[in-house]
Amino acid sequence: MLGLAGLVYNDGMQLERILHHQGFGSRKLCRILIINDQVTVNGAPCDDPAADFDTQDLHFTVDGEPWQYREQAYLLLHKPAHYECSHKTLHHPSIYRLLPAPLVERGVQCIGRLDEDTTGLILLSDDGQFIHRMSSPKWKVPKVYEVTAKHAVDSKQMQALLNGVLLVDESETIAALACEQVSDHVIHLTLAEGKYHQVKRMLAAVGNRVEALKSIRIGKLDLPADLAPGEWRWLDASDMDKLKGDRLPT
């Protein structure tokens, strides 16, 4: 197939559909972007919306911004404080403001939620099956939180967290999978559930109080040390393996 820019393409997906699938707007808007010479594909300009491309290892730019075609989006974000994990926020800006508009347009969703004052690692995706597998209560995906407590955490409190505590409005006790002392006031708490304000309620149940809370690991995937608050990146194959290896059925 010959495009208006004089290039030959193999059978595949039309460029207009590629941009639409990747979140660059309606089919009409994507068509306009292409016709207006705002798109390059694998380094070459293309002004033909109907030009077909093989999407495997496809790289393109829109208004000079580089992108790689991804059938599904898998992301991690270092959530800062004072952001809400919702599109319809109440008091603070949404974490979706921290992402490029095409990712929001294509419908990525956070997997679980962190409170507005909780920081750290959170995953996002537009793959419904992946979201379900990572968040379903039938899978015990360990999540590690760095908890800074108001009072020094003693051995009795740590043992109570491991044995299980009864929270208000819960009929059964909830226990941590692990509890590691980092300093007098800081512990690493590993949980396999995601109930509302769970860490804060568990610390309150043992007579303490959470002063700061940070998500630092999901499965075997750690919050990258070089990812600043507010930054995001794509999950790579190694990251996905770390997540898949820790979904254990109940």
> Do the beta carbons of residue 108 and residue 124 sit within 8 Å?
yes
Rounded to whole angstroms, the Cα distance separating 11 from 109 reads: 32
Exposed/middle/buried for 183, CB within 10 Å: 0-12, 13-18, 19+?
A: exposed
Active site residue 115: yes
**Which one, of 189, 170, 196, lies nearest residue 115 by Cα?**
196
> Do the beta carbons of residue 247 and residue 139 sit within 8 Å?
yes
The count of other CB atoms within 10 Å of the CB of residue 145 is 22
Q: Which of 115, 117, 127, 154 is catalytic?
A: 115
Tokens of 127: 């793959």
Q: Give, in order, the Cα–Cα distances in Å from 129 to each of 19, 74, 88, 100, 250.
A: 23, 12, 24, 23, 18
* Catalytic center residues: 115
